[in-house]
Amino acid sequence: MSAVLRYTVGRILVFAASLGVLYLIGFRRWALVLVAIVVSMPLAYVLLRRQRASFAVGLERVLSRRRAEKARLQAALESDDDEFSTADKGPLSPAKHSNFLDSES
């Protein structure tokens, strides 16, 4: 099971447990849901510390791969730009043959 799924299921279970305990205490309707949300947030922060850390490590791994891929693609794009800029200085560059373009029109 992925870290994201484990953390999400954990958050839902903490909320459901908070909801159940508050229902047994006597909370009803909207107050029950609102108080359960407020109570479950700090509980999940404390109880799901390992799952949150695992989720953060997995997220950092994905982000570092994406940063490396972005850097690789930018380097490839810059090398392509360099090739095109040197190609403009070749024998058929528009600057050298502007009279050729004028004669076609």
SS (H, E, C) the chain: CCHHHHHHHHHHHHHHHHHHHHHHHCCCHHHHHHHHHHHHHHHHHHHCHHHHHHHHHHHHHHHHHHHHHHHHHHHHHHHHHHHHHHHCCCCCCCCCCHHHHHHHC
- What is the phi/psi pair of residue 43, to 5°? -65, -45
From 47, 38, 50, select the one nearest 13 (Cα to Cα).
47
pLDDT at 99 over 60: no
Is the pLDDT confidence value at 79 over 70?
A: yes
State the pLDDT at residue 94. Answer: 55
Identify the band that residue 88 occupies on the pLDDT scale cut at 50, 70 and 90.
low
Average pLDDT, the chain: 84
What's the rounded Cα separation, in Å, for the pair 46 and 93?
66
Question: Residue 98 — very low, low, confident or very high, per pLDDT cuts 50/70/90?
Answer: low
Percent of the chain with pLDDT over 90: 66
Residue-wise pLDDT for 13-51, tens only, equals 999 999 999 999 999 999 999 999 999 999 999 999 999
The tokens of 77 are what?
Answer: 């794009």
Higher pLDDT, 74 or 1: 74
